[in-house]
Structure 1
């Protein structure tokens, strides 16, 4: 099984990917881990495109995968290969709250994560508006050719329904 999950930051992509990974015993991959250079000492450094694309190709060559992230422009093959594409499109107040909560948990060392700053949090919150208002429309248009395997998720209740055993 090949599943691609896409949506704004804070919509539950990683949560859904981890739960589906456990349910189906399939490895899941967070695209942030190949898009961003996590070995860099600075926050916000991108992986070189050639390396990113090679890492991505290695994932696609596997028999089963769950891929999750906000990206779409360089992922055509993933969408084409996917059996199911979930678009997480939750209300703004939910994902903004979750982003702030995640930031606080990381600062209190209750959760591991990226090297974020207050400035990066504010930039992310601002960026989510652009993503929802512009990128999400592009994503829906981009995925129109795969509409028979695209499922929109608009609530936590719908996520839970997918996860029922």
Structure 2
């Protein structure tokens, strides 16, 4: 089984991907882990493209996987091999609430993280996420050559209804 999950920040991608991974014993990959440079001194520093692309090739070369993230412009290898591409349309207000909650949990130590977020970076993420939901994601859905694989959902747990 090869599953790709797309949605805005706070849409529930990671949560449902982890649950699917546990239920079906399939490795789960968060694209943030290969897109961003975790060793950078500052927040929001991208990993070198050749490193990112090589990591993606390693992942999609496996017999099964669950990949999740907000990205789509560099993911043709994943989309081409995916059995299904789930797009989550969680309400923006829910996403924003989850983004702030996650920030608070990381800053207070309730949630382990190596991210170097600030209040300004969270506000920037919320602004970017709104554009993503209103413009970037619809553009991807309307123009992708993988329309036949896309399943759009308003509830991340509805994915379980499509997987057997």
Separation in 2 of the partners of 1:158 and 1:48? 35
Deviations 1:14-35 (CA, angstroms, capped at 9, x unpaired): 0011011011100010010000
In the superposition, the TM-score normalised over structure 1's length comes to 0.92
Separation in 1 of the partners of 2:139 and 2:133? 10
Unaligned runs of at least 5 residues, structure 1 = none
Deviation at 1:41, TM superposition (A): 2.0
Unaligned runs of at least 5 residues, structure 2 = none
Pair 1:39-2:39 in alignment: yes
Pair 1:132-2:129 in alignment: no
Deviations 1:54-98 (CA, angstroms, capped at 9, x unpaired): 111111111111100011011012111001111011111110111
**Residue in 2 aligned with 1:149?**
149
Alignment of 1:53-132 (within 5 A): 53-113=53-113, 114-132=115-133
**Residue in 2 aligned with 1:19?**
19
Separation in 1 of the partners of 2:60 and 2:160? 27
Separation in 2 of the partners of 1:3 and 1:147? 14
In the superposition, the TM-score normalised over structure 2's length comes to 0.93
Separation in 1 of the partners of 2:123 and 2:160? 30
SS in structure 1 of the partner of residue 67 of structure 2: strand
Separation in 1 of the partners of 2:53 and 2:83? 21
Deviation at 1:139, TM superposition (A): 1.7
**Residue in 2 aligned with 1:30?**
30
| Aligned CA distance change for structure 1 residues 91 and 23 (closer, same or farther; 3 Å) | same
Deviation at 1:162, TM superposition (A): 5.6
The CA RMSD measured in Å over matched residues stands at 1.6
Separation in 1 of the partners of 2:96 and 2:162? 23
